[in-house]
Chains A and B, each alone.
Chain A
Amino acid sequence: MNKKFAISIIMTMFLAACASKPIEEPKAPATDNSPPATVPTPAAPATDSSNSSSTMAADASTAPKGELSPLKDPNNILSSRSVYFDYDKDEVKSEYRALVEAHAKYLVAHPNAKLVLQGNADDRGSREYNLALGQRRSVAVRKVMNVLGASDTQIETISYGKEKPRCSEQTDDCRAKNRRVDIVYDGE
């Protein structure tokens, strides 16, 4: 009858093919460095220096072949993949410096390695503006990596905006978990 109702559904099959695991979840279960209760108050320092336990991370590249990849070894800082941000901020906080630096050094040591920095925002406000805020956060992480010698050709910065919340409750704690950049290596 109406030309305009001839809307097709073709994409379903298409998409089924890409319907794999959400990529922002690293395979290695462990190291949940989701912001602890300290996050809602920006000034509060991270008291549990969970990251400092992994100072050997910088040497991850030397991990012998055949063993657990340093990127997935829960005892290695490289298995930590999320950097969290304060509301409306894109500054990489000091407690995440070690984590970002470890990944930067990994890129330097592995010139063929590539990663995507996926920026995310909490659910307040416009979807497109949040996409831009998430982008600004992923660029902020990239700049820290650049300083340590990681090449832009190894890094793509993108954003999911508010589309991939890790937590969906209307609380400050929950929103803090959504203001983050996830580090995802090619092939993961």
Chain B
Amino acid sequence: MKSSNLNAIFSFYNCHMSRLLILLSLLLPLTAQAALDIEIVGGAAQQIPIAIVPFTQSSNPADNPTVIISADLRRSGLFRLLETGGVSPLPKEVADVKYPDWAALQAQALVIGKVEPTAGGRLKVSFRLLDVLKQGQLAALEYDITPSQLRQTSHKIADIIYQKLTGEAGVFSTRITYVIKQGNRQSLMIADADGYNPQPVLAGTEPIISPAWSPDGTKLAYVSFEKKKPVIYVQSLTSGQRVVLANYKGNNSAPAWSPDGKKLAIVLSLSGNTQIYTINADGTGLQPLTHGLTIDTEPQWSPDGKWIYFTSDRGGSPQIYRMSPAGGNVQRVTFEGSYNVSPRLSPDNKLIAFVRRGDNGKFQIATQEVASGQVQVLSDTARDESPSFAPNGRLIIYATHINNKGVLSVVSADGKVKQRFSEVGDVREPAWSPATN
């Protein structure tokens, strides 16, 4: 892959002021092809002030850990990155750190690190995360890697910093899948969570929809229309091999994995009507779950395995329901409004993200608390689709349209931080990968 420069523009504003505060543009030399630029809109009210001292490195590798870690933390909306230029000399070792210097900058945390070449062309990457107020160490790790792993390692370091300072897991090392339409060509892609390293999984001239990660992150189920009708495939991301999961008469769509990865809920129109079935991951054992004359679709297992949420118009308008994974015990879940579809459960089973049509006619991403039924609209766009939770439950990625072009957006589950990805072409059908180890 040829080296390319990305002009990444990060713009963000304080949500209270609703004004553009900072606009900085970074020119990053990258080996990884970057097709998705990210724009950040909004931020948490209380951001953690952190100073990242530029990593000491003898060479000038294409992937710069300081830049990658800073971008990750900034994008989360939870951190305020402090200028380190005013401190001189900058500390290279923990023994050199003068805490009062950093306390004067109002830094709560400080990161120092280095990248050193080792035998066989490998690299040793080490970093320390320091608590400025307590003047102590929060984390210190060392990685022995190949130069091509520097980007990924930087994301891991950002995950550790995020986890130590916020108490929840970071998602900088995770990936996203999405479909991009360029001309009459559609490609199913996988990219890093920051949009870098986009890799095609499948490409062709027919539509691809509804990609779903297996719980272990090694496979994608998706619907391709390459046989001139919707057929469900499961593709291994390690070998690239794929199998037809379901190609029954009529439509085969909306695959959703069970939490243990052994089964999928799928949607067939075998009877003419659109109904939900389960099938073993090897394509055997088809079982109908719903039997009706109305539409039942978009099944989604709750992560605890207790329910299958789905969309049905059995009550006259499309609403979200849930049922036992064996079928039966159907309960209606959404009651506000005349159009609530595409349910997705948060990893802790407490929140449902979905698409609602408001009184204003806009299709917007919203969440509903499972326990209280309380609804919160998260987006300010009008043609939103396909919400998907990050594995830490804090962020939701979804597809929307800006200027009649499909783009991906990310919103925090509390609605406070928004990021927008743009790419050349129409982008849709995002799904966030499970956590990686």
Contact = CB atoms under 8 A, between A and B. Distances in A.
B290 interface: no
A8 B199 CA distance: 8
Nearest to A24: B228
A131 interface: yes
Interface in B191-221: 197, 199-207, 209-210, 217-218
Interface in B236-290: 237-240, 242, 249-251, 253-254, 267, 269, 272-274
Contacts of B238: 3-4, 6
A95 B349 CA distance: 49
10 contacts: A1-B148, A11-B202, A116-B229, A124-B363, A125-B339, A127-B209, A128-B341, A131-B209, A132-B295, A159-B269
Given A4-B217, A131-B253, A135-B274, A12 B203 contact: yes
Interface in B128-185: 146, 148-149, 152, 175
Contacts, number: 149
Nearest to B146: A1
Interface of A: 1-12, 14-16, 18-19, 23, 116, 123-129, 131-133, 135-136, 139, 142, 156-161, 163-164, 170
Given A4-B238, A5-B199, A125 B341 contact: yes
Nearest to A163: B207
Contacts of A128: 209-210, 253-254, 267, 297-298, 311, 341-342
Contacts of A160: 207, 225, 230
B143 to A, nearest CB: 13
Contact of A159 (B148, B152, B204, B230): B230
Interface string B305-342: 00000010000001000000000000000000001011
Contact of A129 (B201, B297, B436): B297
Interface string B222-240: 0001111110000001111
Interface residues of B, number: 59
Contact of A156 (B175, B250, B267): B250
Given A4-B238, A129-B341, A135-B251, A15 B206 contact: yes
Given A2-B152, A18-B204, A127 B429 contact: yes
A72 B206 CA distance: 25
Nearest to A139: B272
A123 B181 CA distance: 15
B339 A11 contact: no
In the A-B complex, the 10 residue pairs with the closest CB atoms: A8-B240, A15-B204, A163-B207, A132-B274, A132-B295, A126-B341, A158-B229, A11-B202, A19-B205, A7-B199
Select the residue from A11, A23, A159 with max chain B CB neighbours within 10 A: A11
B417 interface: no
B426 to A, nearest CB: 10
B190 interface: yes
A6 B241 CA distance: 11
Contacts of A139: 269, 272-273
A126 B294 CA distance: 17
B386 interface: yes
A136 B269 CA distance: 9
A52 to B, nearest CB: 30
A9 B201 CA distance: 6
